[in-house]
A and B are shown apart, each in its own frame.
Chain A
Amino acid sequence: MTNITILIIGALLSISILYLVRKGKMHGPYATWWLLVAVTAIILSIFPGIIDWVAAQVGITYPPTLLLLVSICMILVRMLTMDMALTQKERKIRRLTQKMAILEDHIIQHKKDDGQS
Chain B
Amino acid sequence: MKSLIVIPAFNEAENLKTLLPELLSQVSHDVVVVDDASQDETVHVVESFGVKCLSLPLQLGAWGATQTGIRYAHRNNYQQVITMDADGQHLPVEVHTLVARYQQTNTHVVIGTFPSRLSRLKKLAWRFFKMLTNIKIEDLTSGFRLYDRQAIKVLAQRQASLLDYQDVGVLLLLLRSGLTIHEVPVKMLHRNDGKSRVFSSWLVVLKYMVQTTTLCIANMGTRKAK
Whether B158 and A101, one on each chain, are in contact in the complex, defined by CB atoms closer than 8 angstroms, is no
Residues from 91 to 117 in A contacting B, C-beta threshold 8 Å = 91, 93-95, 97-102, 104-105
Which residues of the other chain, B, contact A101 by a CB distance below 8 angstroms?
Answer: 34, 54-57, 68
Interface check A81, CB cutoff 8 A: no
Give the shortest distance, in Å, between B35 (CB) and chain A (any CB). Answer: 8
* Residue of chain B at shortest CB distance from A90: B162
Size range of the chain A interface in the assembly: 10 to 19
Inter-subunit contact A97/B162 (CB<8 Å): no
Interface size class, chain B: 10 to 19
**Number of A-B residue pairs having CB atoms within 8 Å of each other in the complex:** 45
Contact with A along B69-87 (1 / 0, CB 8 A): 0011001000000000000
How distant is the Cα of A32 from the Cα of B214 in the complex, in angstroms?
A: 33
Contact B71 A98, beta carbon cutoff 8 Å: yes
Q: Hey, which chain A residues are within 8 Å of B68, CB to CB?
A: 97-98, 101-102
- A95 CA to B71 CA, complexed, in Å: 10
Whether B67 is near chain A, meaning CB under 8 Å from some CB there, is yes
> Could you tell me which A residues sit within 8 Å of B by CB distance?
87, 90-91, 93-95, 97-102, 104-105
Closest 8 CB pairs of A and B: A98-B68, A101-B54, A97-B58, A94-B161, A101-B56, A91-B161, A102-B72, A91-B162
What are some 19 contacts across the A-B interface (CB < 8 A)? A91-B161, A93-B58, A94-B60, A94-B162, A95-B158, A97-B58, A98-B56, A98-B60, A98-B67, A99-B71, A100-B56, A101-B34, A101-B54, A101-B68, A102-B54, A102-B72, A102-B75, A104-B54, A105-B54
